[in-house]
Amino acid sequence: MDIKIVVKKKLSVYEARAFDTDGKLIDSLVALSESNARRLLKEKLGLVKKSKPKKSKPKKVPSSLLDSGSVLTGLRGVTSSKPWRKTK
């Protein structure tokens, strides 16, 4: 079965329509861009498999307050400052 997808602009959105070889309407949907309309209709009809979501690294939990970034950024100026002058 051969499917033809036609995308037309209607006002500010794009309407994608899928037709079979006889010219009968199979399905349609509306999206904000032409490429998204075509892609979403193909996914809806099962012509293209959905892409796998990207894996993200788990967030590292600091073991103590000293390991957290906020404390270290606050101490940068203190550790790099010049030593105090002696008073007479």
Residue in 13, 59, 62 with CA at minimum distance from that of residue 37 = 13
Of 69 and 14, the one with more pLDDT:
14
What pLDDT, in 10s, does the model give residues 5-45?
999 999 999 999 999 999 999 999 999 999 999 999 999 99
Distances (CA, A) of 17 to 27, 50, 72: 6, 19, 57
Question: What pLDDT, on the 0 to 100 scale, is given for residue 82?
Answer: 57
Size of the chain, expressed as the number of residues it contains: 88
Cβ–Cβ under 8 Å, residues 55 and 78? no
Cβ–Cβ under 8 Å, residues 28 and 15? yes
Mean pLDDT of the chain: 80
What value does the mean pLDDT take over residues 36-55?
86
Indicate whether this model's pTM tops 0.85. Answer: no
Task: Give Rg (Cα) of the chain.
Answer: 29
| DSSP symbol at 80 | T
pLDDT reading at 66 higher than 90: no
- The residue extents of the domains of the chain are 4-45
